[in-house]
Amino acid sequence: MTAFDFAFWVLATVAVVAALGVVLLRDLFRAALLLIVALMAVAGVYVTLHADFLAAVQVLLYAGAIAILIVFAIMLTRDVAQGNPFNSLHPVALAVSALLLVSLLWAVLATDWQKSFLPPLEPTTGPIADILFETYVLPFEIASLLLLAALVGAIVLAREK
């Protein structure tokens, strides 16, 4: 077992445990912090798989921006100490989650994992960035404006009158 294999399994375990904590905790703030841990662990998994661009995007966009936006939204929400109230959609969510788990397990077990994996000879960041910023720059700008509007809306709704 190489150091990359060991790091992969440690980071994958941390990601799964943190994701379970996000789902099972009733305290929203702690769940958001565990979400950041899970997203950072996934970025580490990307590093062990030699996907440098995906790791950088994971840290910058998800762990850096989206998770912090969620933390701010939770901090601006009133009555956050109550936690998540129970609702009638738990059985539906359980059924959908079980279906997703079965389909993922089927995909993992049906895949031939014996093919050799060769890491890329040069970094993949440049070519992927060229494609993203030449072809998909407008959707990125629209998404950033939507996130800004959501943040401003959360501040306006949470502001005391």
pLDDT reported for residue 85: 62
DSSP codes, 103-132 = HHHHHHHHS-TTS-----SS-SHHHHHHHH
- Give the pLDDT score at 87: 66
* Residue 64 pLDDT: 82
What is the Cα–Cα distance from 28 to 70, expressed in whole angstroms?
Answer: 10
Pair 84, 159: CB distance under 8 Å: no
Could you list the pLDDT tens digit for every one of the 161 residues in the chain? 788 889 999 999 999 999 999 989 888 888 888 999 999 999 999 999 888 888 888 898 888 888 887 877 777 776 656 655 666 777 888 899 999 999 999 998 988 777 766 777 788 788 888 888 888 888 888 988 998 898 888 788 777 65
Residue 72 makes CB contacts below 8 A (sequence gap 6+) with: 151, 154
For residues 135 and 139, give the distance between their C-alpha atoms in angstroms, rounded to a whole number: 9
Q: Is 52 helix (H, G, I), strand (E, B) or coil?
A: helix
pLDDT attached to residue 10: 95
Instruction: Name all domains of the chain by residue range, CATH numbers in brackets.
Output: 3-80+122-158 (1.20.120.1200)
- In Å, how far from its chain's centre is CA 62? 6
- pTM to 2 decimals? 0.64
For residue 118, is it left (φ>0), alpha (ψ between -120 and 50) or beta? Answer: beta
pLDDT at 92: 87
